[in-house]
């Protein structure tokens, strides 16, 4: 008789009940098979790394991940300097995966963090467009120096307008984050 997935059974050799879902997963193969693939790449990377961390495949602390980030940045710089697009693409992927791991380790949702940055970018760029329009200019009639000054102006105005809530303390010595 096959127990339903995830049911609890008492094995004669076990001292406490065992979740059969875990046993069935072990019998089926890869731990990573259980992670759905039809989600965003950031979420997929997060969940794969989180799943791997449950069996000890993880850094002991954030310093190790930051060292890995430095290593990946150096590999990316080398690929760019050699003008090797396929290698640069691979290194960008490695960088993104390491960044997601840093976020996971610090219990920061990478999707939410990126969305917040996208919102800031959109807000600042819109500010540039409106400021130029007030001056009777289009983006194409402007130059990078002028747009950069307006970008900095938008940043300053936002800082005065919005005060960020205090950040929760980072995870100390733990492994997987919450998403």
Where do the domains of the chain lie?
1-34, 111-161
Residue 18 backbone phi and psi in degrees, to 5: -115, 135
Whether the Cβ atoms of residue 154 and residue 124 lie closer than 8 Å to each other = yes
The pTM score is 0.69
Confidence of residue 168 (pLDDT cuts 50, 70, 90): low
Confidence of residue 45 (pLDDT cuts 50, 70, 90): very high
Higher per-residue confidence, 35 vs 108:
108
Helix (H) / strand (E) element for 105: namely helix 85-105
Confidence of residue 113 (pLDDT cuts 50, 70, 90): very high
Q: Which pLDDT belongs to residue 148?
A: 97
pLDDT at 1 over 90: no
Higher per-residue confidence, 15 vs 91:
91
State how far the Cα of 12 lies from the Cα of 6, in Å rounded to an integer. Answer: 18
Residues 6+ apart with CB under 8 A from 45: 96, 97, 100, 101, 110
Q: Per-residue pLDDT averaged across 154-179, rounded?
A: 60
Among 97, 74, 79, which residue's Cα sits nearest to residue 89?
79
Token pair listed for 24: 């069935």
pLDDT at 72 over 80: yes
Mean pLDDT over all residues of the chain?
82
């Amino acid at each position: 008789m096959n127990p339903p997935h995830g049911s609890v059974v008492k094995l004669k050799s076990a001292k406490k009940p065992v979740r059969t879902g875990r046993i069935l997963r072990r019998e089926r193969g890869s731990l990573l098979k259980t992670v759905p693939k039809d989600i965003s790449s950031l979420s997929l990377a997060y969940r794969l790394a989180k799943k791997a961390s449950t069996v000890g495949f993880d850094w002991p602390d954030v310093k190790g991940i930051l060292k890995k980030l430095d290593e990946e940045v150096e590999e990316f710089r080398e690929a760019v300097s050699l003008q090797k697009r396929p290698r640069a693409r691979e290194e960008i992927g490695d960088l993104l995966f390491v960044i997601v791991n840093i976020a996971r380790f610090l219990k920061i949702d990478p999707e939410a963090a990126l969305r917040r940055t996208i919102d800031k970018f959109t807000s600042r760029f819109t500010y540039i467009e409106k400021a130029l329009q007030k001056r009777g200019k289009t983006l194409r009639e402007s130059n990078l120096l002028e747009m950069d000054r307006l970008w900095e102006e938008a940043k300053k105005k936002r800082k005065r307008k919005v005060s960020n809530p205090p950040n929760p303390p980072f995870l100390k010595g733990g492994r997987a984050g919450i998403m």
